[in-house]
Amino acid sequence: MKAEIENLIKQNKEKLHLIEKFLNYETSKNRLEELTALTAESTLWEDPKKAQALMSEKTHIEQNLKTYEFLNLKIQEAEELANLAQEESDEKMLNEIEENLTHLLEKSKTYTLSLLLSGEADKNDCYLEIHAGAGGTEAQDWAEMLLRMYTRYAAKKGFKVEYVDETPGDEAGLKSVTIKILGYQAYGWLKTESGVHRLVRISPFDSNARRHTSFASLWVYPVLDDSIQVEIKEEECRIDTYRSSGAGGQHINKTDSAIRITHNPTGIVVQCQNQRSQFQNKATAWEMLKARLYEREMKIKEEKIKNIEDAKSDIGWGHQIRSYVLQPYQLVKDLRTNIETSDTSGVLDGEIDAFLQGALSLKIKGLEEENV
């Protein structure tokens, strides 16, 4: 058999083994049997919400198992055909098999990545908070540049953006802003963006044209649907009302109905001022708080699973993930994956897919190393 074909078959089998591990194949098969029995019961639709959840889970597992079994079958067929073609010295067939195996490997890679977006909240909309770091106008301008980058990214993906809260900078830019990004798997794609983003450039606000370094922090957390329950004790929260931002908060209604909720046990603070009524702002703020608490619990669980010892208390805000250098050279580099590009204008215009895919793929790499 041609060495290229042998290598492609080996790579496809390794990727399939990884998918099997991701799926928990045997566990998924057993769960599908349970769901098939449950959804066949005559009393299923007495509780419509529960019925929809069961049907959705059943469909999801069925699709995953079918994809795995399809890939497995195609690899087996390719291996058998390759052996036959080799015996008959059929070069044309061998070339076709090599092409098919290459296509199959790409399909497996894409599917593996999609499995990383199959978490409990990955399909949901998300909130994205940006906070300017120390540095005054420089950092506040950087926060506004990041807002533009993510809204451009959302537009390219066909996602909608709603403004939730915005605090304008003293002279330019933004001190902080929270947006809601609505679209299928918005949270799944953007969840790895939480952390510190660093900018190096010649300052447009410095008359001496000196180089400045600015920082901004991001926090991404999911919009929760009815399938995810989070309990909050109201007595553990402080609710404050305040006036919305003044001139400069271009996306915000200027009313006296803004709401800030502080969760005392964790210190988490959320605020909303985009609605015209205090009642609506309060409802949105409660939704945001539940989402932040859920995301916090997921981070804690993730830390325990990975046994992360460093940055235990501030893993999101204190962790620098990406550097954007505009001067003296042009380079955007992700410090976790080492993915980099000199197309800084493209990145700042929303072309960040390579960074998002790279960060998600770190999980795949971890599992691949376990299998070595």
Please tell me the predicted confidence (pLDDT) of residue 319: 79
**64 and 152 within one domain:** no
Q: Quick check: 339 pLDDT over 60?
A: yes
Report the domain count for the chain: 2
- Assign residue 103 the CATH number of its domain: 1.20.58.410
Mean pLDDT of 304-327: 60
User: Where would I find the beta strands (DSSP E) of the chain?
Assistant: 126-132, 160-168, 174-182, 195-202, 211-222, 237-242, 258-263, 268-272, 320-325, 331-334, 340-341
Tell whether 369 is covered by a domain: no
pLDDT > 70: percent of the chain: 87
Report pLDDT digits (tens) over 277-296: 888 888 888 888 888 888 88
**66 and 34 within one domain:** yes
Please tell me the predicted confidence (pLDDT) of residue 255: 52
**Shortest CA distance to 358 belongs to which of 337, 332, 331, 335?**
337
**155 and 39 within one domain:** no
Please tell me the predicted confidence (pLDDT) of residue 1: 63
pLDDT > 90: percent of the chain: 43
Please tell me the predicted confidence (pLDDT) of residue 87: 87
Q: Quick check: 65 pLDDT over 80?
A: yes
Task: Name, of 45-54, 105-114, 147-156, 185-194, the range with top average pLDDT.
Answer: 147-156
Tell whether 28 is covered by a domain: yes
Instruction: Show the tokens assigned to 117.
Output: 């977006």
- Assign residue 286 the CATH number of its domain: 3.30.70.1660
**297 and 180 within one domain:** yes
Q: Quick check: 334 pLDDT over 60?
A: yes
202 vs 252, higher pLDDT: 202
**Shortest CA distance to 271 belongs to which of 193, 192, 163, 173?**
163
**345 and 285 within one domain:** yes
Model-level pTM? 0.65
Tell whether 237 is covered by a domain: yes
Tell whether 367 is covered by a domain: no
**285 and 165 within one domain:** yes
Round to whole Å and give the CA distance between 44 and 46.
Answer: 6
Q: Quick check: 208 pLDDT over 90?
A: no
Please tell me the predicted confidence (pLDDT) of residue 318: 55
Tell whether 371 is covered by a domain: no
Q: Which of 135-139, 218-222, 301-305 has the least mean pLDDT? A: 301-305
Last residue of a domain, one of 75, 91, 115: 115
**90 and 188 within one domain:** no
Tell whether 368 is covered by a domain: no
The helix/strand/coil state of 309 is coil
Indicate the pLDDT class of residue 50, thresholds 50, 70 and 90: confident
Q: Which residues, 6+ apart, have CB-to-CB distance to 210 below 8 Å?
A: 202, 203
Q: For residue 21, what are the domain limits?
A: 3-115
Average confidence score pLDDT of the chain? 84
**199 and 93 within one domain:** no
**94 and 15 within one domain:** yes
Mean pLDDT of 156-166: 92
**146 and 110 within one domain:** no
Tell whether 307 is covered by a domain: yes
Please tell me the predicted confidence (pLDDT) of residue 134: 81
The helix/strand/coil state of 113 is helix
Mean pLDDT of 90-107: 90
- DSSP state, residue 244: P
The helix/strand/coil state of 282 is helix
Last residue of a domain, one of 84, 115, 146: 115
Last residue of a domain, one of 93, 115, 137: 115
**69 and 188 within one domain:** no
Tell whether 157 is covered by a domain: yes
**58 and 13 within one domain:** yes
Strands 320-325 and 195-202: parallel
